Amino acid sequence: MKNKYTSEMLDLLRRIQNMDYIAPDVIPDIELYMDQVTTFMDEHLKSSKRFDEDKILTKTMINNYSKNDLLPPSKKKKYSKEHIILLIFIYYLKNFLSINDIKKILDPISENFFDKNGETDLTEIYQEIFKMQEENIDAQVRDVIRKLTRSNEAFKDISDEKEKNTLTDFAFISMLSFDIWVKKYIIESIIDHKLSPHTKAGRYSASSGKASAKTGRTSTGKVSAKNVSAPSKNTEPQK
């Protein structure tokens, strides 16, 4: 059972390495209508679907993004290459961040680089981010394999095979979840303290060192267990 489990997970990791990403050179350099945009996104990101019926992007999503100022308005109902780049960023970010947080991240990008003739444009930014992602994928896979190996070792002495497999799965999920939580914490801290300098600090004030009622984390990094709350779920904007 252990070998089967490991084989299944390694197969998953190989599929992650071969997962579809939208390379910079395949993004159309012409304006597209909304139907064409949704078709393009669905065709190029279909391998990232969890279920076949899942939608990568819909007309409603695009309209909501525009209504919430997450996406600049179309020009005569057509969307440019830069619109598509922003939609790609939104697609990945909305899996673990709120729409409000995504807006804070993308606002300075749109304001400074969308439809601008400056030193750097959105296409160049996307090319660099894509290159960074490609360079990082192998390290991500190696890290997942390390966590898988550690999880398989954690409860190897349990004789009941069913219980051992249940605990091994739980250990693996827990390690992956903690990794996600830490990275999400860092991202939200950057949003709160660098991208939202004029708003109330979301987690802690570096000057006071007092724990936030929301997370219980202080400037020293200590956590009060009774104050810790689960991360908020990602939500789509209301129509």
The per-residue pLDDT for range 171-186, each reduced to its tens digit, is 999 999 999 999 999 9
Identify which has the larger pLDDT, 64 or 202: 64
Residue 74 located in a structural domain? yes
Residue 179 lies in a domain: yes
Range of the domain at 70: 1-200+231-239
pLDDT top residue among 179 and 211? 179
Q: Could you tell me the pLDDT band of residue 220, with boundaries at 50, 70 and 90?
A: very low
For residue 212, being part of any structural domain is answered with no
Residue 42 domain-assigned?
Answer: yes
Is position 209 within any domain? no
Residues 194-203: what's their mean pLDDT? 62
Q: What is the pTM of this model?
A: 0.76
Examine residue 185 and state whether it is found in any structural domain, yes or no: yes
Q: Which residue has the tokens 């922003």?
A: 86
User: What pLDDT sits at residue 145?
Assistant: 84
Q: Can you give the length of the chain in residues?
A: 239
What is the chain's mean pLDDT, rounded?
81
Note whether 168 and 155 are within 8 A (CB): yes
Domains contained in the chain, number: 1
205, 211, 210, 209: which is closest to 226 by C-alpha?
Answer: 211
Residue 214 within any structural domain of the chain: no
Strand partners, 33: 78
CB-based contact 195:104 (threshold 8 Å): yes
Residue 215 lies in a domain: no
Q: Is 221 helix (H, G, I), strand (E, B) or coil?
A: coil
